């Protein structure tokens, strides 16, 4: 069963629809009591870091997320769901979940158009199961104004160029984060989701 975390943000149902299209059963988790019978978890996201973390803490989801990750359950963060895995976000000066060491920083408006929106290449720094059957430098769909800056270089497994290189895929142990939206990235995005759901 693939658990999809509902924290009042957007695109949850598009992620759920994509996972079901691949043939995997899903369960939407909106409260701590829902975190049962789950083999893997997806943390989707559209919205602001401050409001998202406020919701997560108010509903006790932060503790359940950390417990699941500590227990070794495979975990995928998407866009804001990836960013909230860091220690801190400069969006709304927000303390996040601290699964990865590092911060979330804004693109500089004077260097590039913000938000970064559209198709862009992901260069694979490390061969990882999440990239199985996906060529290097393949295009995925992005919509974001902030990006993660991990403290440890080994946590960065994919990078994308937008004015400068930024980390677009992170991984550590049983946790993966992608800055792009696989549910909006056509066949390559479905391949990412299938790699996570079936092979990770």
Q: Which has the closest alpha carbon to 14: 189, 168, 158?
A: 189
Q: Which helix (H) or strand (E) holds 80?
A: helix 80-83
Taking phi first (over 0 means left), then psi (-120 to 50 degrees means alpha), and beta for anything else, what does residue 102 get? left
**Angle value at C-alpha 109, between 186 and 136, nearest 5 degrees:** 35
Residues that are catalytic: 79, 181, 183
Residue 115 three-state SS: coil
């Amino acid at each position: 069963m693939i658990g999809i975390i509902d924290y009042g943000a957007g695109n949850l149902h598009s992620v759920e629809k994509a996972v079901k299209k691949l043939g995997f059963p899903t369960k939407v988790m909106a409260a701590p009591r829902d975190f049962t019978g789950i083999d893997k978890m997806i943390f989707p996201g559209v919205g602001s870091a401050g409001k998202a973390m406020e919701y997560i803490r108010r509903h006790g989801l932060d503790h359940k997320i950390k417990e699941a990750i500590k227990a070794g359950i495979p975990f995928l963060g998407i866009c804001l769901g990836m960013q909230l895995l860091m220690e801190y976000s400069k969006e709304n000066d927000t303390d996040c979940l601290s699964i990865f060491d590092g911060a979330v920083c804004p693109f500089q408006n004077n260097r590039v158009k913000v938000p970064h929106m559209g198709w862009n290449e992901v260069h694979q720094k490390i061969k990882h199961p999440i990239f199985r059957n996906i060529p290097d430098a393949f295009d995925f769909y992005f919509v974001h104004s902030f990006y993660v800056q991990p403290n440890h270089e080994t946590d960065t497994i994919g990078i994308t160029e937008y004015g400068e290189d930024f980390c677009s895929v992170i991984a550590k142990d049983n946790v993966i984060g992608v800055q792009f939206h696989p549910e909006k990235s056509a066949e390559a995005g479905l391949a990412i989701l299938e790699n996570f759901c079936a092979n990770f």
